[in-house]
Amino acid sequence: MAQAAAIQLQKKRISPARLVEVAYVPFKSQFAEKHIAADFNIPYTLPDLECDIAKTAWVLTIFFSNAVRYTPEWGKLQVRGTEKENRLTLSVQNSGYGIPPEKVHAMFDALADGVDAPEYGRSLALLLAREIIEAHGGKIGAYSEPGELSRFFIEMPIE
């Protein structure tokens, strides 16, 4: 069996706030149409991130796309940026339906059962997103409280 090609990264420096803005802007009107309140807390004191900007922003667009799709009207969106131990975390949390606990951990794994389950956000896009973030030496994940919220995050090394 042929080995998959490694993801090629073209790293540049960008502020976390600008990276989130690049990913969020295409969805801004969709959130507004659904009257979803967006709350951003990405401190200007966070260090710049060295990453492939286009690929990393694309990962965040997946989070925003899922958030606008699965957040009911008048819901809430929270976007956070934090730094801890030379790691930068960006998270996108939305109120709404949540994801069943047994599905959360499988969303970023290969489709072992051969069946895609888009109703819980598991898709080829999330599989590719994991590969992109891991190519940066980072981590991607999700947390959910069914019927309450879903939070997707990336954690990247600060170089």
Domain boundaries, the chain: 11-157
What is the structure's pLDDT at 1? 46
The hierarchical CATH code for the domain 11-157 is: 3.30.565.10
pLDDT exceeds 70 at position 23: yes
Two tokens, residue 20: 């989130």
Task: Render pLDDT for 123-135 as a digit per residue (tens, 0 to 9).
Answer: 788 889 999 999 9
Tell whether pTM > 0.85: yes
pLDDT exceeds 60 at position 68: yes
142-158 as b/e: b if 16+ CB within 10 A:
bebeeeebbbbbbbbee
pLDDT-based confidence at 34, cuts 50/70/90? very high
What is the structure's pLDDT at 128? 92
pLDDT-based confidence at 120, cuts 50/70/90? very low
61-73: average pLDDT: 94
Q: What is the 3-state secondary structure (H, E, C) of the chain?
A: CCCCCCCCCCEEEECHHHHHHHHHHHHHHHHHHCCCEEEEECCCCCCCEEEEHHHHHHHHHHHHHHHHHHCCCCCEEEEEEEEECCEEEEEEEEECCCCCHHHHCCCCCCCCCCCCCHHHCCCHHHHHHHHHHHHCCCEEEEEEECCCEEEEEEEEECC
